Structure 1
Amino acid sequence: MIGLVLAAGAGRRLRPYTDTLPKALVPVGPDGAHDGPTVLDLTLANFAAVGITRAAVVVGYRKEAVYARKAALEARYGIALTLVDNDKAEEWNNAYSLWCARDAVRHGVILANGDTVHPVSVERTLLAARGEGRRIILALDTAKKLADEEMKVVAEPGRGVRRITKLMDPAEATGEYIGVTLIEGEAAPELADALKATFERDPGLYYEDGYQELIDRGFTIDVAPIGEVPWVEIDTCEDLARGREIACLY
């Protein structure tokens, strides 16, 4: 199993931090120092802590910044990195971005969004949930109070995920998908086909819409509750401030 990070997006709501950097490389250290840890640093550290020695990073917007740091990141975390170019990163949404990494997914991956600050306990929870025929497992926060912006999930015992979308009444949701997934290699062909159908239908769709496509085809996607752990998806400057608070804990 290898790591996979989606780090191709422009992060326009985080400007001016993302004027010259992809969101995954915006510093999240407590003082915001330019040489402080980033989301990508924290994610690679998590991967290393669970024994992952190879990872793919999908790059697009300001990809030259990731290429420039590749060797240093490999040396720091002991992880061999493969950078995967997304040629439509500033035009299309991340269903296409994950599809670009379809060859990496064949190895089996722990997928992490490039804007999610979370503890290594999330990766450990997903790895502990492997087996018994589970092919895709979503990290799910069942404790957080939900609002309109969250990626909400309805899951049923024995049937797995039934719905995954932001466009849902929060009261109906089982919890929030936090942007980290374990995908077994055997699921890669079906996932790639569902993602392709999704972005061909609408290039503005999320890879979670690809998950819904899979579910609608009869594929079972499972969940693993992460417990009450601090984490944040960094979309705005307010989120970034919270991310810096949380990063100090890890």
Structure 2
Amino acid sequence: MIGLVLAAGAGRRLRPYTDTLPKALVPVGPEGAEDSLTVLDLTLGNFAEVGLTEVAIVVGYRKEAVYERREALEAKYGVKITLIDNDKAEEWNNAYSLWCARDVLKQGVILANGDTVHPVSVERTLLDARGKGQKIILALDTVKSLADEEMKVVVDGAKGVRRITKLMEPSEATGEYIGVTLIEPEAAEALAEALKTTFERDPDLYYEDGYQQLVNDGFVIDVAPIGDVKWVEIDNHDDLAKGRTIACQY
């Protein structure tokens, strides 16, 4: 099993930081500090802490910044990094971005969005949840109060995920998907097909819409509740301020 990071997005709501950097490289350490940690740093650190030694990163927008830092990141975290180019990063949404890593999925991955600040306990929770025949396990926050923007999930016992979408009344949801998934090798082919179906239907769709396609096709997707932990998806400057507060605790 290896780590996989989706880091191709532009993150336009984080300008001016993202004028020159992809969102995954926006600093989340103390503002103005030299060599401040980024979301990518935190994620690579988490992967290394749970014993992953190989990481693939899907890059697109301002990808040269990730290429420039690859060697230093490998040395810092003791991982081998493979970069996967997304040629449509500024045109299409992340269903296509994850599909670009379809060959990597065959190795089994812990997938992390490149904009999610979270503790290593999330990766440990996913790894601890393995072993009962699950093929895909989503990290689920069942504690946080939900609103319109969150990626909401409805779970039905042994049937697993029934719905995953932002377009749902918060009161209907079991919890929020935080952007971290464990994907076993056995799920790779079916997931790649579902992602392809999804972005061919509409290139603006999310990879979570690919998960919904799998569910619609009868594939069981499981969840692992992460407990009461602090995390944030960084989409805008308010999120970035929260991310800086959280990042210094891990």
After TM superposition, is the score higher than 0.5? Answer: yes
Cα drift, residue 175 of structure 1: 0.2
Unaligned runs of 5+ in 2: none
Match of 2:31 in 1: 31
- Residue 13 of structure 1 aligns to which amino acid in structure 2? R
SS in structure 2 at match of 1:31: coil
Counterpart CA distance in 2 for 1:189 and 1:91 is: 25
- Residue 242 of structure 2 aligns to which amino acid in structure 1? R
- Residue 118 of structure 2 aligns to which amino acid in structure 1? H
- Residue 189 of structure 2 aligns to which amino acid in structure 1? P
Match of 1:107 in 2: 107
Q: How does 1:167-246 map to 2 (within 5 A)?
A: 167-246=167-246
Deviations 1:132-189 (A, max 9, x none): 1100000000000000000000001111000000000000000000000000011000
Q: Which runs of 4+ in 1 moved over 6 A?
A: none
- Residue 153 of structure 1 aligns to which amino acid in structure 2? V
Deviations 1:203-249 (A, max 9, x none): 00000000000000000000000000000000000000000000000
Counterpart CA distance in 1 for 2:32 and 2:97 is: 28
Counterpart CA distance in 2 for 1:118 and 1:30 is: 17
Counterpart CA distance in 2 for 1:244 and 1:77 is: 21
Is 1:132 aligned to 2:135, yes or no?
A: no
Deviations 1:36-72 (A, max 9, x none): 1000000000000000000100000000000000000
Q: How does 1:45-60 map to 2 (within 5 A)?
A: 45-60=45-60
Cα drift, residue 126 of structure 1: 0.1
Deviations 1:2-51 (A, max 9, x none): 00000000000100110000000000002343521000000000000000
- Residue 151 of structure 1 aligns to which amino acid in structure 2? M
Counterpart CA distance in 1 for 2:33 and 2:145 is: 32
Counterpart CA distance in 1 for 2:204 and 2:110 is: 24
- Cα RMSD between the aligned structures? 0.6
In the superposition, relative to structure 1, how do residues 32 and 166 fare at CA in structure 2: closer, same or farther (>3 Å)? farther
**1:30·1:247 contact (CA, 8 Å) conserved in 2?**
no
- Residue 128 of structure 1 aligns to which amino acid in structure 2? D
Q: How does 1:55-66 map to 2 (within 5 A)?
A: 55-66=55-66
SS in structure 2 at match of 1:195: helix
SS in structure 2 at match of 1:249: coil
**1:27·1:34 contact (CA, 8 Å) conserved in 2?**
no
Is 1:161 aligned to 2:179, yes or no?
A: no
Counterpart CA distance in 1 for 2:106 and 2:44 is: 20
SS in structure 2 at match of 1:158: helix
Deviations 1:63-108 (A, max 9, x none): 0000000000000000000000000000000000000000111000
Match of 1:150 in 2: 150
**How many residues in Structure 1 have an aligned counterpart in Structure 2?**
250
Counterpart CA distance in 2 for 1:34 and 1:84 is: 28
Unaligned runs of 5+ in 1: none
Is 1:87 aligned to 2:104, yes or no?
A: no
SS in structure 2 at match of 1:244: helix
Counterpart CA distance in 2 for 1:32 and 1:104 is: 36
Counterpart CA distance in 2 for 1:157 and 1:141 is: 16
